[in-house]
Chain A
Amino acid sequence: MSDLTRLSAASLSKMISSRELSAVEVTTAHLDRIAAVEDRVHAFLHVDAEGALDAARRVDAGEITGPLAGVPIAVKDVVTTKGVPTTAASKILEGWKPPYDATIVERLKQAGMPILGKTNMDEFAMGSSTEYSAYGATNNPWDLGRIPGGSGGGSAAAIAAYEAPLAIGTDTGGSIRQPGAVTGTVGAKPTYGGTSRYGLIAFSSSLDTPGPCGRTVEDTALLHAVMAGHDPRDSTSINQPVPDVVAAARLGKNGDLSGVKLGVVKEFAGDGSEPGVLNSFKESLEALVKLGAEIVEVSCPHFEYALPAYYLIAPSEASSNLARFDGVRYGLRTGDDGSRSLEEVMSLTREAGFGPEVKRRIILGTYALSSGYYDAYYGQAQKVRTLITRDFQSAFEQVDVLVSPTTPFVAFPFGSRTSDPYQMYLADLFTIPTNLYGGPAISVPCGLSEGLPVGFQIMAPTMADDRMYRVAAALESAVGSFTPPEL
């Protein structure tokens, strides 16, 4: 019965293509699961049962075939879906129905993947806990009193709670990997430019990267392959063949990492991480050594400036990207009673429509870009970015991939980090450098600390996404997967 939702995307796909299962059956099972657990998890902002079933019927009619045809998916609400509400978890876009699909959504549809609905997130992807969603937080299926990570907590929780076998996330500073880590799921941030941003509501254009979320490395790779590839509508999209991540994941499964050099970032060792997180990380390293991998300590001296540089670059770009939300053309409009000036209406709309973290970052970014401060803040941050990129490049001359814990701490209780933004920002300490560099990284479950999942991060050179999938699959085969308690 409900066991269909426990199957991997790879198994579902096989069973659908062999007609052992119908796509409608699989989609219905997931819709039923959503109906059964959403009151506790709240992973979705919008469920599109009709749209999903329509897509499933087309697969069953034989109109679409392919590796993931008929396998349902959840999409983060920051990605546009034609005719289906897309809010970026903000009041300012409440009820907005995009007239167009994001490129990655088009690709899901072409692949015959029924879209179950839109998942919860921190407003405009700004946050690490989904507590900044304008529509209420998502609860971690491992412990409903704890955060599911963020910003893509809804996508990660939906997978962990068996509401969907796969989900789309977006990663600007860790928004796919950190939720993956704290929900015991896999989340990959592809190479920047490897997946199209067209239709992704921009937070920080030079960092935003859509990517796949799944329960297994192979599932994640299968989705990666469907999403990725050049898009002429995104100028920053890379016009090169997509690395064969599916083959790499399958290769990794056989558990042989002979000759693979793993770099442990010296600057990430020790302080800042919870002991339980460090423990799991060390045990995982030992498991990888047993598979034949070699561990090399590497130094990335500028990583310690990554967090401050990120909190100048990302808010600067956001302050400009979010300027379009002014109540003139779409979304919320407040105070337009005929007595107020245009400026007042814009200002009231933004005051009412944006939440506290979004406002904080708009103000931060506006300040960092203002004349007289530009060089000291935005300009300086760009220099740091260049230095971090060099750190990565010289590290990759010595090793194949870099490894670290995904996040310094396991899922924390609601409200424990909202009063001090810096404590929240620390959640992305280990994930941010990759975004500044532009390379790919993946988080894979590697153990439990006090009953809560710990994530292991693997970072690879740009356009070498396959490498991290191989190591991730090997680690997965060594440590196994982690199942949350029954809801």
Chain B
Amino acid sequence: MTYDEILTKYEPVIGLETHVELGTRTKMFCGCKTDFGAEPNTQVCPVCLALPGALPVANRAGIEATIRIGLALNCDIAEWCRMARKNYFYPDMPKNFQTSQYDEPLCTDGYVDVTVNGTEYRIGIERVHLEEDTGKTLHVGGATGRIHGATESLVDYNRAGIPLVEIVTKPVPGLGALAPEIAKAYVAELRDIVRSLGVSDVRMEQGSMRCDVNTSLNLPGEEWGTRTETKNVNSLRSVERAVRSEIIRQAAILDDGGKIFQETRHFQETTGDTRPGRSKETATDYRYFPEPDLVPIAPDPAWVASLRESLPEKPSVKRARLREDWGISEVDMQSVTNAGAVELIEETIAAGASPAGARKWWMGELARRANELDVDLAEVGATPAQVAALQKLVDAGKLNDKLARQVLEGVVAGEGDPADVMAARGLEVVNDTGALTKAVDDAIAANPEIAAKIRDGKVAAAGALVGAVMKTTRGQADAKAVRELLLERLGVS
């Protein structure tokens, strides 16, 4: 069966559980720093190492960020709730329980609207809760870095205790063949919402946003099928592929008269399919109970109200507004969004550039550069203010397009602001009329036949002489000005 045939027979139900690592300065229950990429076990203390006697103290910033996410996802905020202990043994979890939330999540019952192919879909949010991250285990000596064949396992606890927010959707039926695309659109929207709040850098490739995808199939009119949970879905594209491949896999089994088992599967980035995780003979009993070391969370309603009032504009609303302001198509706006360039372009415009100019640099030269360096656009090395300054130099005729690109290269290389780079590299457009007139006259003198043709009215021939002038001025002249001057000198204009 083809994918489309499957979807005429079966109805998929999807659900998504997304973990967002909060960008708080310190960990959730201790004062340790959360800097990414620090030397292993340098951001640890008695609390996050679970030394005997150490106690947690909740980080207010983590609670605030969770409430803001909940509010942005249209959730109700609990007036009173508790953290809970999720008990299981694992070496990268120092206490052998995770401080999380169980039946009293901080935020419940919200929704996110996403638009796919011009139609809006509402994805229900079941809950948003706060928990802590685990450490990282590194297996040494094995061929692949996996535990199998490893001679040693090393644990880095720097990540242990960093606040995580888990966002769980309600099951979403009725999406049909669009389920994979809508799943992707939901995660993208969620990413944009969380990013707009400034509470996380939400980078799927760095693991600060991680997704688990639940999928089941049922025949029309029948009960929902058994769902599988696919983990290791680490990019937007993978979200779509994981749902699609799980639909295809389950349909094949069901068509063969087989049964779907409730299991955890892992998405394979290389092949695009899902593989079973380590099978657990018995379901883990996490023995949840309220965390007695922490006092209940009872957010002051006035505080919640002020957080609600200070929420930023919704990304979807903002995108529509900006698209209109910038005068670009939906497709172009989509690529700006996907490139993570919305805010950068916005700030560049605020710094004085035209929308077209701002978009041109960020989506062109700088996007290419970011791609080459494999970094986010925001980290490419140029600031919105610099890009705006560059565009102003172009608008003032001090730089032409080619020179501007060279200046930008210097800016990205850390040589300073555009004006500094232009001066240091001697890249300014030649607009000294005397020098330019001489160059034009020289070109006319050196090419009498072409000059004669132009005088006879064959203006198209002017290109050759403009090229010659540009060559002698090493590209630092403005081609348009050269052309005008040339025609003037030849008495054609």
The residues of A that contact B58 with a CB separation of less than 8 Å are 235
Which of A99, A100, A369 is in CB contact (< 8 Å) with B289?
A: A369
The residues of A that contact B288 with a CB separation of less than 8 Å are 369
The residues of A that contact B54 with a CB separation of less than 8 Å are 100, 198-199
A335 contacts the other chain (CB 8 A):
no
Q: Mark A95-136, 1 if CB is under 8 A from B, else 0.
A: 010111010000000000000000000000000000000000
State the CA gap A79–B56 with chains docked (Å). Answer: 17
The residues of A that contact B87 with a CB separation of less than 8 Å are 319-320, 323, 369
- A88 contacts B52, C-beta separation under 8 Å: yes
A324 contacts the other chain (CB 8 A):
yes
**Which B residues between 255 and 302 are near A, CB-CB below 8 angstroms?**
285, 287-289, 292-295
- B94 contacts A235, C-beta separation under 8 Å: no
- B95 contacts A329, C-beta separation under 8 Å: no
Q: Mark B80-115, 1 if CB is under 8 A from A, else 0.
A: 000001010101001111000000000000000000
A236 contacts the other chain (CB 8 A):
yes
- A370 contacts B285, C-beta separation under 8 Å: yes
The A-B contact count (CB < 8 A) is 102
State the CA gap A86–B292 with chains docked (Å). Answer: 23
Q: Mark A318-349, 1 if CB is under 8 A from B, else 0.
A: 01100111101110000000100011001000
The residues of A that contact B151 with a CB separation of less than 8 Å are 338
The residues of A that contact B289 with a CB separation of less than 8 Å are 316-317, 320, 369, 374, 378
B51 contacts the other chain (CB 8 A):
yes
State the CA gap A235–B50 with chains docked (Å). Answer: 16
State the CA gap A99–B97 with chains docked (Å). Answer: 22
CB distance from A125 to the nearest CB of B (A): 12
State the CA gap A147–B52 with chains docked (Å). Answer: 27
**Which B residues between 38 and 95 are near A, CB-CB below 8 angstroms?**
46, 49-58, 85, 87, 89, 91, 94-95
- A330 contacts B285, C-beta separation under 8 Å: no
- B49 contacts A329, C-beta separation under 8 Å: yes
A253 contacts the other chain (CB 8 A):
no
State the CA gap A366–B89 with chains docked (Å). Answer: 13
- B89 contacts A346, C-beta separation under 8 Å: yes
- B51 contacts A98, C-beta separation under 8 Å: yes
CB distance from B150 to the nearest CB of A (A): 11
- B51 contacts A235, C-beta separation under 8 Å: no
State the CA gap A93–B51 with chains docked (Å). Answer: 11
- A317 contacts B292, C-beta separation under 8 Å: yes
A320-B287, A371-B285 are contacts. A329–B94 as well, Cβ < 8 Å? Answer: yes
- A235 contacts B56, C-beta separation under 8 Å: yes
The residues of B that contact A202 with a CB separation of less than 8 Å are 52-53, 55, 293
A329-B94, A342-B153 are contacts. A206–B292 as well, Cβ < 8 Å? Answer: yes
State the CA gap A233–B55 with chains docked (Å). Answer: 7
State the CA gap A328–B51 with chains docked (Å). Answer: 11
Q: Which A-chain residue is minimally distant from B155 (CB atoms)?
A: A328
CB distance from A339 to the nearest CB of B (A): 12
CB distance from B356 to the nearest CB of A (A): 55
The residues of B that contact A200 with a CB separation of less than 8 Å are 53
A323-B96, A342-B153 are contacts. A236–B52 as well, Cβ < 8 Å? Answer: no
**Which A residues between 195 and 238 are near B, CB-CB below 8 angstroms?**
197-202, 204-206, 232-236
A80 contacts the other chain (CB 8 A):
yes
- A342 contacts B91, C-beta separation under 8 Å: yes
- B295 contacts A323, C-beta separation under 8 Å: no
State the CA gap A86–B51 with chains docked (Å). Answer: 12
- B94 contacts A324, C-beta separation under 8 Å: yes
Please give the number of chain A residues whose Cβ is less than 8 angstroms from any Cβ of chain B in the complex: 45
CB distance from A108 to the nearest CB of B (A): 15
- A80 contacts B89, C-beta separation under 8 Å: no
- A86 contacts B52, C-beta separation under 8 Å: yes
State the CA gap A138–B53 with chains docked (Å). Answer: 24
CB distance from B63 to the nearest CB of A (A): 13
State the CA gap A96–B85 with chains docked (Å). Answer: 26
The residues of A that contact B285 with a CB separation of less than 8 Å are 370-371
Q: Which A-chain residue is minimally distant from B29 (CB atoms)?
A: A235
Which of A102, A204, A374 is in CB contact (< 8 Å) with B53?
A: A102
The residues of A that contact B292 with a CB separation of less than 8 Å are 204-206, 236, 317
**Which A residues between 145 and 178 are near B, CB-CB below 8 angstroms?**
none
- A329 contacts B53, C-beta separation under 8 Å: no
Q: Mark A374-398, 1 if CB is under 8 A from B, else 0.
A: 1000100000000000000000000
A235-B58, A235-B293 are contacts. A343–B51 as well, Cβ < 8 Å? Answer: no
The residues of B that contact A324 with a CB separation of less than 8 Å are 50, 52, 94-96
The residues of A that contact B97 with a CB separation of less than 8 Å are 320, 323
- A198 contacts B52, C-beta separation under 8 Å: no
State the CA gap A96–B46 with chains docked (Å). Answer: 14
Which of A99, A197, A204 is in CB contact (< 8 Å) with B51?
A: A99
CB distance from A316 to the nearest CB of B (A): 6
CB distance from A187 to the nearest CB of B (A): 21
- B85 contacts A328, C-beta separation under 8 Å: no
A235-B294, A323-B96, A328-B155 are contacts. A343–B89 as well, Cβ < 8 Å? Answer: yes
CB distance from A100 to the nearest CB of B (A): 5
The residues of B that contact A320 with a CB separation of less than 8 Å are 85, 87, 97, 287, 289
- A323 contacts B95, C-beta separation under 8 Å: yes
- B51 contacts A234, C-beta separation under 8 Å: no
Which of A86, A98, A366 is in CB contact (< 8 Å) with B287?
A: A366
CB distance from A191 to the nearest CB of B (A): 15
Q: Which A-chain residue is minimally distant from B287 (CB atoms)?
A: A369
Q: Which A-chain residue is minimally distant from B291 (CB atoms)?
A: A205
**Which B residues between 143 and 170 are near A, CB-CB below 8 angstroms?**
151, 153, 155
A100-B46, A328-B155 are contacts. A232–B287 as well, Cβ < 8 Å? Answer: no
Q: Which A-chain residue is minimally distant from B47 (CB atoms)?
A: A233
- B55 contacts A234, C-beta separation under 8 Å: yes
Q: Mark A294-328, 1 if CB is under 8 A from B, else 0.
A: 00000000000000000000001101100111101
State the CA gap A319–B85 with chains docked (Å). Answer: 11
The residues of A that contact B153 with a CB separation of less than 8 Å are 342
State the CA gap A371–B46 with chains docked (Å). Answer: 31
CB distance from A340 to the nearest CB of B (A): 13
Q: Which B-chain residue is minimally distant from A232 (CB atoms)?
A: B57
Q: Which B-chain residue is minimally distant from A236 (CB atoms)?
A: B295
CB distance from B163 to the nearest CB of A (A): 16
The residues of A that contact B57 with a CB separation of less than 8 Å are 232-235
CB distance from B299 to the nearest CB of A (A): 16
Q: Which A-chain residue is minimally distant from B151 (CB atoms)?
A: A338
State the CA gap A102–B54 with chains docked (Å). Answer: 8
The residues of B that contact A316 with a CB separation of less than 8 Å are 289
- B96 contacts A326, C-beta separation under 8 Å: yes
The residues of B that contact A371 with a CB separation of less than 8 Å are 285, 287
The residues of A that contact B295 with a CB separation of less than 8 Å are 235-236
CB distance from B403 to the nearest CB of A (A): 59
State the CA gap A383–B96 with chains docked (Å). Answer: 27
CB distance from A359 to the nearest CB of B (A): 16
The residues of A that contact B89 with a CB separation of less than 8 Å are 323, 326, 343, 346
- B46 contacts A329, C-beta separation under 8 Å: no
Some 20 contacts from A to B, beta carbons below 8 A apart, are A80-B51, A80-B52, A98-B46, A102-B53, A198-B53, A198-B55, A202-B53, A205-B293, A235-B57, A235-B293, A236-B292, A317-B289, A317-B292, A319-B87, A323-B95, A324-B95, A369-B87, A369-B289, A371-B287, A374-B289
Chain B residues within 8 Å of A, Cβ to Cβ: 46, 49-58, 85, 87, 89, 91, 94-97, 151, 153, 155, 285, 287-289, 292-295
Chain A residues within 8 Å of B, Cβ to Cβ: 79-80, 86, 88, 93, 96, 98-100, 102, 197-202, 204-206, 232-236, 316-317, 319-320, 323-326, 328-330, 338, 342-343, 346, 366, 369-371, 374, 378
**Which 4 A-B pairs rank lowest in CB-CB distance, beginning with the nearest?**
A323-B96, A205-B292, A369-B287, A206-B292
Extra contacts besides A202-B55, A316-B289, A320-B85 (8): CB < 8 Å:
A100-B46, A199-B53, A201-B52, A234-B55, A235-B58, A342-B91, A370-B285, A371-B285
